[in-house]
Amino acid sequence: MKKEHRLGVSETNLVERHLKVEKASDEQVCAAVEEIDQLYGIDEVSFDPEQKVFILEYDATRLCFDSLEEVITKHGIEICHDWWSNFKEGYYRFVDKNVHDNYTHKPWSCHKK
């Protein structure tokens, strides 16, 4: 069964990201989830309170990891900055940029008439 995606989300460019946080109250998390859920290009957003992780699914041609991280920190939520989290964030940024660049790239050919 094929899942229906929200308006502005293409299956081809869909990515899933996990962002671990250190300190966050229930009110802060609810406000951040509510704001992120309204963004064009987001497919799903949720929070796992046991692991303190945001689970973000979005179209990488419409949104980037940095913009979602910005919304989360705007609500006073402290993002985890251990070695593994920093490594994953760098990888997420790299992949998001590649997806966006490939989507906006205009093919070039010397065989044009």
Map out the domains of the chain as residue ranges: 11-104
8 Å CB contact between 79 and 20: yes
Residue 53, pLDDT above cutoff 90? yes
Q: Rounded to the nearest 10 degrees, how much is the dihedral formed by the CA atoms of 14, 43, 100, 31?
A: -140
Between 108 and 57, whose confidence is greater? 57
11-104: CATH class: alpha beta
Residue-wise pLDDT tens digits, 74-93:
999 999 989 999 999 999 99
113 vs 82: CA distance, rounded Å:
54
Element (H, E) at 32: helix 26-37
Reported confidence tier of residue 68, pLDDT bands at 50, 70, 90:
very high
Structure tokens at 60: 């990488």
SS3 65: helix
108 vs 33: CA distance, rounded Å:
41
Q: Which range among 53-57, 79-83, 86-90, 96-100 shows the weakest confidence by mean pLDDT?
A: 96-100
Q: Mean pLDDT, to the nearest integer, of 28-40? A: 94
Residue 57, pLDDT above cutoff 80? yes
Q: Mean pLDDT, to the nearest integer, of 55-72? A: 91
Instruction: Name the average pLDDT for the chain.
Output: 87
Q: Rounded to the nearest 10 degrees, how much is the dihedral formed by the CA atoms of 72, 84, 9, 78?
A: 0
Q: Mean pLDDT, to the nearest integer, of 91-112? A: 78
